Amino acid sequence: MANKAYKFRIYPTEEQKLLFAKTSGCVRLVYNYYLEQKIKLYQKEKRISPIQNVPAI
């Protein structure tokens, strides 16, 4: 099976650039929050949560 890749170039407007910046900032905040929770749980219980063993879909 051959892998294919596509490259796209976008030219967002100033309003879209602002929206992308806000969205990525929110995503980063949520990711870092749950990463911190995961680290604290591991330090406390010295084990990996069972939900982490579920493969990504």
Q: Tell me: the pLDDT tens digits for 35-51?
A: 888 888 888 888 776 66
Q: Is 38 helix (H, G, I), strand (E, B) or coil?
A: helix
Residue 8 pLDDT > 60: yes
Contact yes or no for 42/48 (Cβ under 8 A): yes
Residue 32: alpha-carbon gap to chain centroid: 9
Structure-model confidence comparison of residues 35 and 57, the more confident one = 35
Contact yes or no for 49/41 (Cβ under 8 A): yes
End-to-end CA distance of the chain: 20
